[in-house]
Amino acid sequence: RRLNPTMKEVVRKEVVKLLEACMIYPISDSAWVSPIQVVPKNGGMTVITNDKNSVKNSYGVEDVY
């Protein structure tokens, strides 16, 4: 799912922050991805979560566990 430009910038900043904190690391290629959810909250805070119930491969096949 595509993000609007404002949310895309919020996600970019959060990813950079997590990369700098060594909490995540870049990968060059992977057949599997886990989608994120971006949820704007009252007071201006935005929560970025990982959809733990869904993993998708690069062919668009969903594996729900």
Q: What is the CA radius of gyration of the chain?
A: 13
Tell me: the pLDDT tens digits for 12-32?
888 898 889 988 888 777 777
pTM of the model: 0.58
Task: Determine the Cα–Cα distance for residues 14 and 38; give it in Å rounded to an integer.
Answer: 11
Average pLDDT, the chain: 72
What's 1's DSSP letter? -
pLDDT (0 to 100) of residue 8: 86
